[in-house]
Amino acid sequence: MKATINDVAKQAGVSIKTVSRVINNEISVRQLTREKVQKAVEELNYQPNLAARNLAGAKSFSIAYIYDNPNAYYIIDMQEGILSACKQQGFELLIHPCDAKNKNITEEVVNMVKHARIAGLILTPPLSEMPEFVKSLVALDVKVVRIMSGDVAPDDLSPCVMVNDRDAAQTITQHLIDLGHTDIGFIAGDAKHMSTVERYKGYRRALKESNIDFDKKLVIEGEYSFDSGVSGAKQLMSTESNNTRPTAIFSCNDEIAAGALFAARLMNISIPEQLSIVGFENSPFSRQTWPKLTTADQPNNQIAGDAANLLISQVRKQKNQTTISQYVPKLIIRDSTAKC
């Protein structure tokens, strides 16, 4: 039923080793032979047995996606991007959810890698931003690719796919400025996350480039949560507070923005008439809030596919891809922002 390498060899009239060479894209096979084999492969609809390859060879054809779960939408998008790259390249994907706050996480993952014969790992924030964790993994016999926030890799522990949150945040803030806002609040996400830091930098840069004075009181420390958005917005908009009341709020992600929206509703502040709010991430629910959120979108699927391909080419020891891809999230204007 299912064709083996033997069947292909017979059909092509060569040895199984030659078939093996062809399917592994090795160089020393004559063009003619290669074609014969490829024809046989097609005819028999042959697909190499992953278990056997993994068992026999020194190489492994499995990579793993290790994630902590900040956001189901993000994970699913990433996962599907990685999955389709894997399928295309004949790799197998192991999914490994874990908890970044767990003290033993390094041990846990190191163990998994050792036991599962894994060739490479893909890490997303917050795991990709834990230097000690990453170091421990790089020290093992696996390749690592990280998806991170920033414009350039912070170190050379591993190749990275960078998401330029800074530029995107600047664009968003500029959008607010273009609408006439000058008092723009900022509700931060978890301070430990690079994305928060980067978005903050972009916000600051936009203000600076437009010569708007920076007011520290307009910056609220928070975390990536709805509740943080609620309390942040309350704090910013409270009439008792002695700071300037902002006319716009930059929320570090959509969840915070949704919280801010919620708070505004509580305080009878109408959006966007009295207050503009922007989010970040373009989560599905950002289209389902009232009003719909202006936000920034990043092609997670594609980013993940990129990372997976980068990783696989590392594993294959093909040219040591030094090119680091960078993505800049794109502004999406919806209904939560308006002229001042």
The residues of the shown chain that bind a second copy, judged by CB under 8 A, are 1-2, 47, 49-52, 54-55, 69, 72-73, 75-77, 79-80, 83, 92-95, 97, 114-117, 226, 255, 258-259, 261-262, 265, 284-285, 287-290
Shortest distance, position 255 Cβ to DNA, whole Å: 44
| Beta bridge partners of residue 249, listed in sequence order | 185, 277
Residue 121 Cβ, how far from DNA at the closest point, in Å? 20
E strands, 30-175, where? Answer: 62-67, 92-97, 120-123, 143-149, 160-163
Of 45 and 239, the one with the shorter C-beta distance to DNA is: 45
Residue 236, CA atoms < 13 Å, CB-side half-sphere: 34
Q: What letters, b where the CB count within 10 A reaches 16 and e where it falls short, cover 216-231?
A: eebbbebbbbeebbbb
Residue 47 or 210 with smaller CB distance to DNA: 47
Among 25, 35, 42, 55, binds DNA (CB under 7 A): 55
Identity of the residue, 74 or 200, whose beta carbon is nearer to a second copy in the bound complex:
74
Our CB check for a second copy shows the closer of 83 and 278 to be: 83
Residue number with CB closer to DNA (79 or 314) = 314
Determine the Cα–Cα distance for residues 182 and 179; give it in Å rounded to an integer.
9
- Report the length, in residues, of the chain: 340
Give the DSSP per-residue string, 10-65.
HHHTS-HHHHHHHHTT-S-S-HHHHHHHHHHHHHHT----HHHHHHHSSS--EEEE
Of residues 24-43, those binding DNA (CB under 7 A): 24, 27-30, 32-34
Q: Which does 23 bind (CB under 5 to 8 A by kind): DNA, a second copy, none?
A: DNA
Q: Which does 238 bind (CB under 5 to 8 A by kind): a second copy, DNA, none?
A: none
User: Closest separation between CB of residue 52 and DNA, Å?
Assistant: 3
Among 25, 42, 52, 330, which residue sits at the site for DNA (rule: CB under 7 A)?
Answer: 52
> Which is nearest to 295 in space by CA: 172, 203, 149?
172
C-alpha distances (whole Å) from 261 to each of 183, 267, 291 are 18, 10, 8
Chain residues in the site for DNA (CB under 7 A): 4-6, 13-18, 20-21, 23-24, 27-30, 32-34, 46, 48-49, 52-53, 55-59
